[in-house]
Chains A and B, each alone.
Chain A
Amino acid sequence: MANRERPLSPHLQVYRWQITMVMSILHRTSGIVLSVGAFALAWWLLAVAQGGEAYARAAACLASPFGLLVLAGFSLALVFHLLNGLRHLSWDIGWGFEIPDVYRSGYAVAALTVVLTAAIWFVALRGSA
Chain B
Amino acid sequence: MSDVKAQESAAKQDFRTPVGRARGLGSGKSGTGHFWWQRVTAIALVPLVAWLLGTLVSLVGADLDTVRITLAKPWNAILFSLFLLAMFWHAKLGLQVVIEDYVHERAVEITLQLLVTLACVVGALASLYAIGRIAFLA
Which residue numbers of A lie inside 8 Å of B, CB to CB?
8, 28, 31-32, 34-35, 38-39, 41-42, 45-46, 48-49, 51, 55, 59, 75, 78, 82, 85-86, 88-89, 92, 120, 123-125, 127-129
Give the residue name and chain of the B residue nearest to A35 (CB). Answer: B91
B61 touches A48 (CB 8 A): no
A56–B49 alpha-carbon span in the complex (Å): 26
> Are B68 and A78 in contact, CB atoms less than 8 angstroms apart?
no
Is the CB of B21 closer than 8 A to any CB of chain A? no
Chain A residues whose C-beta falls within 8 Å of the C-beta of B43 in the assembled complex: 89
A82 touches B49 (CB 8 A): yes
Interface pair B134/A45, CB less than 8 Å apart: yes
**A45 contact from B58, B64, B87, B130, Cβ within 8 A:** B130
- Cα distance, A10 to B49, chains bound together (Å): 31
Task: Give the distance in Å from the alpha carbon of A32 to the alpha carbon of B99 in the complex.
Answer: 11
Complex alpha-carbon distance, A34 and B133, angstroms: 25
In addition to A32-B98, A46-B130, 7 A-B residue pairs with Cβ atoms within 8 Å of each other are: A31-B91, A41-B127, A48-B68, A48-B130, A49-B137, A85-B42, A124-B57
Contacts of A42 in B (CB 8 A): 84, 123, 126-127, 130
User: Using Cβ atoms and an 8 Å threshold, which residues of chain A touch B22?
Assistant: none
Complex Cα distance, B61 from A128, in Å, reads 5
The answer on a CB contact under 8 Å between A89 and B130 is no
CB distance from B44 to the nearest CB of A (A): 12
Check if B60 sits within 8 Å of A128, measured CB to CB.
yes
Q: Report the nearest A residue to B133, measured CB to CB.
A: A49
Instruction: List 12 A-B pairs, Cβ < 8 Å.
Output: A32-B94, A32-B95, A32-B98, A35-B91, A38-B87, A45-B131, A48-B64, A49-B129, A49-B130, A85-B42, A85-B46, A127-B60
Evaluate contact between A45 and B127: CB separation under 8 angstroms. yes
Q: Which of the residues B57, B58, B94, B130 comes within 8 Å of A31, measured between beta carbons?
A: B94
- Residue among A48, A82, A89, A125 with max Cβ neighbours from chain B (10 Å): A48
